[in-house]
Amino acid sequence: MKECVNYVAVPFVAPVVDTHSVTTNATTITITGSVPSGSVVTGFVVEWQRDTSIGCSDVNRSSIAQDGDFAEFKITGLEEGNRYNITVKASNEAGIGPASNVLSAMTDETEPSASPDSVSSASLSATAISVQWGEVACIHRNGEIIGYVARVLRTEEEVETVIVAQSEREVAVTGLFPSTEYAVQVAAVNAAGIGPFNTTIPIITTDILTLSLESSTTTSLTISWMVDDDWTATGYNISYSNTDTVCFTDSNTISGLSGDETMRIYTMSSLQEGTAYSITVLATLNGELHDFHTRAITNSTG
Task: Answer yes or no: CATH 2.60.40.10 is held by domain 120-204.
Answer: yes
Give 133's Cβ-side CA count (13 Å radius).
31
Report the sign of the C-alpha dihedral through residues 141, 146, 152, 156, in that order: negative
SS (H, E, C) 64-120: EEEECCCCEEEECCCCCCCEEEEEEEEEECCEEEEECCCEEEECCCCCCCCCCCCCE
- What are residue 10's phi and psi, to 5 degrees? -65, 135
CB 173 within 8 A of CB 154: no
Q: Which of 106-115, 158-167, 224-233 is least confident?
A: 224-233
Is 16-106's fold the same as 209-297's? yes
Query: Residue 282's pLDDT band (boundaries 50, 70, 90)?
Result: confident
Q: Where are the domains of the chain?
A: 16-106, 120-204, 209-297
What is the per-residue pLDDT across 59-106, written as a single tens digit (0 to 9) for each? Answer: 667 777 777 767 778 888 888 888 888 888 887 777 787 888 888 888
Phi-psi region of 156 (alpha: psi -120 to 50; beta: other; left: phi over 0): left
User: Mean of the per-residue pLDDT values for the chain?
Assistant: 81
Percentage of the residues of the chain whose pLDDT score is greater than 90: 23
> Could you tell me the pTM of the whole model?
0.69
CA pair distance 182, 35, nearest whole angstrom: 64
What kind of architecture, by CATH, is found in domain 209-297?
A: Sandwich (2.60)
Going from the C-alpha of 104 to that of each of 43, 48, 61, 107, 238, the distances in angstroms are: 22, 9, 14, 10, 73
- Fold of the domain spanning 16-106: Immunoglobulin-like (2.60.40)
Identify the CA nearest to 188 among candidates 256, 135, 151.
135
What is the per-residue pLDDT across 112-156, written as a single tens digit (0 to 9) for each? Answer: 999 999 999 999 888 899 999 999 988 899 988 999 999 999 876
Cα of 100 vs its chain's centroid, Å:
41
Identify the CA nearest to 273 among candidates 243, 295, 302, 245.
302
Sequence-distant (6+) residues with CB within 8 A of 25 are: 107, 108
